[in-house]
Structure 1
Amino acid sequence: MLMNRPFLWLLFVFNLLGSIYGFYWYGNQMADTEWYWNLFVPDSPTSSTLFTIVVLLWLLGRRSRWLEMLSMVTNLKYGIWACGVIITYWNANGIVDGTDLMLMLSHGAMAVEVVLYNFNYKFDRSVLWIGACWLLFNDFVDYVYDIHPWLQDERFTAYIQFWTPVLSLLVLVFVAVLRPATARSK
């Protein structure tokens, strides 16, 4: 069912709309950031855009092991990251609002969908080094140049700064465990 063409088109449309909304969400932060860092500001919508492109390629009968790998590691990382940050603030503030619930559902879905489609990805562990470079360089830029996603306040920045690269490494290990050592033939 997950590879059913009408379902894939629905998945494509929902992810495309979510990505567009995500870039809109980051509009003010991108406007306040030097243009040359803007690629690293909208982490989640960039991730969901990668998955959207992967789904479109599947629909067109095409593949890209690089895009599949980047889609998987970034959606896992930023889906989990956003849920963790939101839960941290919920716990501290004791307040849950509709926007936070929407963000939890959408970011949680990002992580779940790439794991569900693990069976269809064609990349092997040999390309994970590119994902490692992307995630860890993004972590470096986010916390050295202070372009990480805007937080409700700065109470937890030091913790988030510590746990973000740890999460990147855990995601890379998790994906390495899920993926074969060498490419499967089709």
Structure 2
Amino acid sequence: MGLLLQRVWLILSHKSFLWILLFVNLLGTVYGYDWYMWQLEVTEPKFWIFVPDSPTASLFFTLTIIGWLIGRNFKLIEALAIITLVKYGLWAVVMNILTLIETGELSWVGWMLVGSHFAMAVQAVLYSSLYRFSFVHIMIAAVWTLHNDVIDYVFGQMPIYGDLMKYMNQIGYFTFWLSIACILLACWVWRKRVATTILSK
């Protein structure tokens, strides 16, 4: 099993595969921003940067992959990538499942969003051994993430999810703790790398 996992990782971390991953994430980012255009049209310009959460998360990961391909680590971008990819990936999965429970149905687009956003979260964790961010980078990314929650649920700029809008207080509470969990995940990845580095010396 260990040998099989090593071979799988060799494929996943190979430059050719990273180029494919870059292309997929870039396409997803462009699609995501296009999907949010209708909401941006009714949003005050000062809030624009905070509205398209998922495509901005995939943009962070796209930039992260570019860094790996050119032999660099964009450390702050990496911290933002793991926190926001896992957060908004899982958030979208939960929101679409709640839509299914609330309405009794989910369109093919909804199922596509479930699959693609779950993949966002998985890839963020799958490539965690390549991250080189520090605790300072995590804290900066944490401020960005929690500030975004305030903008979404205090200033009313959250993604619009039709039938679920009546549960915004509960969703905001869930989102806050999801943010905390993802920040703690980034801390665990950082501490694991530091511990491994110390043991290898």
TM-score, length of structure 1 as denominator length: 0.94
SS in structure 2 of the partner of residue 50 of structure 1 = helix
Deviations along 1:27-76, whole A, 9 cap, x unmatched? 01111111111000000000001100110111111211111111110101
What SS is found at the alignment partner of 1:134? Answer: helix
| RMSD of aligned alpha carbons | 1.7
Compute the displacement of 1:6 (Å): 1.0
In the superposition, relative to structure 1, how do residues 111 and 182 fare at CA in structure 2: closer, same or farther (>3 Å)? Answer: closer
- Measured after TM superposition, the shift of residue 145 of structure 1 is 1.2
Cα shift readout 1:80-110 (whole Å, capped 9, x = no counterpart): 1111111111112221220111100111111
Q: Does 1:170 align with 2:181?
A: yes
The corresponding residue for 1:64 is 74
- How far has the Cα of 1:170 moved from its partner? 1.1
| 2:174 partner amino acid | W
Classify the secondary structure of the residue corresponding to 2:102.
Answer: helix
Partner of 1:123: 133
Instruction: Report the secondary structure of 1:63's partner residue.
Output: coil
Which structure 1 residue ranges, 4+ long, deviate > 6 Å from structure 2?
Answer: none
The percent identity for this pair of structures is: 37
**1:175 CA displacement:** 2.0
Verify: 1:96 aligned to 2:106, yes or no. Answer: yes
AA of the residue aligned to 1:117 = Y
Q: Show structure 2 runs of 5+ residues with no match.
A: 1-10
Residue 166 of structure 2: which of 133, 155, 158 is its match?
155
Q: Which amino acid aligns with 1:141?
A: I
User: Structure 1, unaligned stretches of length 5 or more?
Assistant: none
Q: One-letter code of the match for 1:33?
A: T
Query: Aligned partners of 2:33 and 2:193: how far apart in 1?
Result: 35
Once residues 153 and 26 of structure 2 are traced to their aligned partners in structure 1, the CA distance between those partners, rounded to angstroms, is: 28
TM-score (norm 2): 0.87
Aligned to 1:14: 24
- The alpha carbon displacement at 1:182 in A equals 7.3
Q: 1:146-186: per-residue Cα shift (whole Å, max 9, x none)?
A: 1100112323212101111111011111221222277559x
For residue 157 of structure 1, what is the amino acid of its counterpart? M
Paired AA for residue 76 in structure 1: V
Q: Secondary structure at the match of 2:127?
A: helix
Q: Distance in 2 between matches of 1:14 and 1:24?
A: 15
Whether contact under 8 Å (2:25, 2:59) holds in the other structure is yes
Find the partner of 1:25 among 24, 35, 40.
35
- The structure number with the bigger radius of gyration is 2
Separation in 1, partners of 2:116, 2:155: 27
